[in-house]
Amino acid sequence: MAIVSVPAERPRGLLRRPTATTGFWSWFTTVDHKKIGILYGITAFAFFIIGGSEALLIRLQLARPDQDILSASVYNEMFTMHGVTMVFLVVMPLSAAFFNYLIPLMIGARDVAFPRLNAYSYWAFLFGGLFIYSSWFLGGAPNGGWFGYPPNSTLDASLGMTFYSLGLLITGIASTVSAINLAVTVINMRAPGMTLFRMPVFIWMGLVVQLLLAFSLPIITIGLTEMFFDRRFGTHFFDPAAGGDPVLWQHLFWLFGHPEVYILILPAMGIVSEILPVFARKPLFGYQFVVFSGIAIGFIGFGVWAHHMFAVGLGPVANTAFGISTLIIAVPTGVKIFNWLGTLWRGDIRFTTPMLFSVGFIAMFVIGGLSGVTHAVVPSDYQQTDTYYIVAHFHYVLFGGAIFGLFGGMYYWWPKVFGRMLGEGLGKLNFWIMLIGFNLTFGPMHILGLQGMPRRIQSYPASLGLSFWNLVSSVGAFLIALSVLIFLVNAVASFRKPKEMESDPWDARTLEWLTTSPPPEHNFDEVPVVHSLDELWHRKYSQTQGGRVVPVPAGGSGEAHGDPHGGPGGGHGIHLPGPSYFPLIAALGLPIAAYGLIFNWWLVGAGIVLVLAGFYGWILEPSAE
């Protein structure tokens, strides 16, 4: 039995370092990656409900022609906030929830490289999101689209886009810091024997995502800073009258924005790569190809950004170059699809809810990918750009892709995290209604786009013949809402069940299923020694001469960890980093300074003081010994 030592309390200065790791207040001081993962998940899901409600309002407005349920200016805020919310406050943090919870577990570590920094990232994300949303009450929400093109975004008189620039700067800090933390964790904290090519695909995708974040976020940091300066101080970065060029913003935004979409999809691809083998009872087909494709997508993803700018007038040379690179990036993506299909082929398939979402992911993502390939053809994109055809494309890959994958992940890992299963009956209902609703919502948008319906319009006249499919789409949206409600019912119902889950309910392949459900605070009683890819599977099963998979008998060689000393760490206590207030305090300084930049310079000072106090408290607080 492992002994976990809790840091001895040594009062120092104003705040004693907290010690409690259970109870309500422990959530505010936790540095445990599992709790932080849960915090990210809950917060992201709350924003999902909000962002989804914004979508419902949009679909309500567009359900019939010539409506005025939302005025034009409110409509602009609605689609802007829907986009900002879904990209920055839902998919990214939901992926972060999975990365935070699972990365240490899957690599056999006890926590991430910098636990307090991890907590800091969560709080900065939360405060950034709240900051952006406070704009509804403080002068208007962002209204320049999630992509904020100037001069529209720099000249708009309301405060919305100022909140946009500062809020995303705050969440950007959170993500950059977290990216470095998790990248170092994956590179440096793997269990003994876990070489890079014995890591689960989810971990590989995690590593690629962190590097994408680390290298793309600084670029938008500068873009947002330049936008903020233009708006708040009257600089001329995007001011044509002074010689500035709004197209510079577009480059800076999309240099980040394109890697961003791979940041949004790779986690879900990683999740699906874990789920498919478990429910097909077959190893992932072409593991190395899937890994290298992920790396290739990350790398090439930095070379396609101007395909968002085909209609801007960069000229035929630039357009052609980016058209070609965009076509090229379809290749590694296709490789993954074929490998997933190869995993399913001749597998012993169980259609559990996670499996349904994963198969749904493949199908929906292929559709979205195909429309994406049509955008890569430049003259074709001239017709499609700024129409609903594009809206269809990115919702197929981001909802049908990322969200489906993330839902699959929730169903799959729920028992590990919460010690109970989500109900299969409700789960299947969730899936099918979501699938039908999703396709009803976004399928018709391909047609609407090709019929000429532009994006971001508050209403359309009846004479354009767009009414029927808009109505279908809006009905679909409410079906999606119903499916999400079903999920919520399922989630709440699961907590009524007793918390008595086995370690490995799905008969899975990776290390997180080696420990209890939920895992103890220290993750593993003994750090596992890894001998192969799919380590857990090989501990449970071996192959006979005839290639038949047979369980390894209990006490057989699969159980031995290769640790000659046996027993937990030689009887030493497992030291875990203690909880801390300071990450929260340091993070709190950010939104306060941001409000100050808008309203009052004294607040900026207060914010900076909080940040400094937080960081100094952090480095000075006594450690666990």
Distance CA 305, CA 51 (A): 26
* Shortest Å distance, C-beta 302 to another protein: 7
User: Distance between CA atoms of 318 and 250, rounded to whole angstroms?
Assistant: 14
357 φψ region: left (φ > 0), alpha (ψ -120 to 50), beta (else): alpha
Nearer to another protein (CB atom), residue 350 or residue 572: 572
Q: How far is the CB of 590 from another protein (least distance, A)?
A: 15
To the nearest whole angstrom, how small is the minimum distance from the Cβ of residue 215 to another protein? 6
User: Of 87 and 112, which CB lies nearer to another protein in the complex structure?
Assistant: 112
At its nearest, how many Å lie between another protein and the CB of residue 547?
A: 30
Instruction: Using the minimum distance from each CB to another protein, give the nearer residue, 180 or 533.
Output: 180
Residue 13 C-beta: closest distance to another protein, Å: 13
Closest to 86 measured CA to CA, from 319, 373, 391: 391
Distances (CA, A) of 211 to 36, 171, 374, 470: 21, 17, 28, 40
Q: How far is the CB of 472 from another protein (least distance, A)?
A: 40
Phi-psi sector, 604: left (phi>0), alpha (psi -120 to 50), beta: alpha
**Position of tokens 């071996």?**
542
Query: Please, which residue, 485 or 609, has the CB nearer to another protein?
Result: 609
Question: Cα–Cα distance between 206 and 99 in angstroms, integer?
Answer: 7
Q: Which amino acid is at 496?
A: R
Nearer to another protein, 253 or 365 (CB): 253
Beta-strand ranges (E) seen in 182-231 are none
**Minimum distance from residue 55 beta carbon to another protein (Å):** 32
Query: Whose structure tokens read 């103890």?
Result: 520
Residue burial 428-466, b: 16+ Cβ < 10 Å; e: rest: ebbbebbbebbbbbbbbbbbbbeeebeeeebbbeeeeeb
Q: Residue 436 is encoded by which pair of tokens?
A: 């039908």
* CA proximity to 594, closest of 232, 257, 238: 232
SS3 9: coil
| Residue 549 phi, psi dihedral angles, 5° rounding | -85, 120
CB of 577 to another protein, least distance (A): 6
- H or E segment to which residue 516 belongs: none
Q: Residue 254 or 389: which CB sits closer to another protein?
A: 254
To another protein, the closest distance from the beta carbon of 92 in angstroms equals 17
Judged by beta carbon, residue 32 or residue 504, the one nearer another protein is 32
User: Which helix or strand (DSSP H or E) is residue 309 part of?
Assistant: none
Structure tokens at 370: 């195909």
Nearer Cβ to another protein, position 226 or 260? 226
Nearer to another protein, 255 or 484 (CB): 255
> Cα separation of 31 and 586, whole Å?
14
Least separation, in Å, of the C-beta of 619 and another protein? 8
CB of 328 to another protein, least distance (A): 16
Q: 390: which 2 tokens?
A: 């594009």
**For residues 513 and 312, what is the distance between their CA atoms, to the nearest angstrom?**
50
Of the two residues 25 and 616, which places its CB atom closer to another protein in the complex?
616
Least distance (Å) from another protein to the CB of residue 607?
15
Residue with Cβ nearer another protein (359 or 593)? 593
Nearest CB to another protein, comparing residues 210 and 441:
210
Q: How many CB atoms lie within 10 A of CB 129?
A: 26
Q: Which is nearer to another protein, 577 or 591 (CB)?
A: 577
Least distance between another protein and beta carbon 110 (Å): 4
For tokens 């809020």, what's the residue? 167
Q: Which residue type occupies 334?
A: G
593 closest CA partner among 605, 577, 581, 578:
605
- Contact at 8 Å (CB) between 614 and 582? yes
Calculate the alpha carbon distances from 489 to 422, 430, 611 in Å. Answer: 10, 10, 40
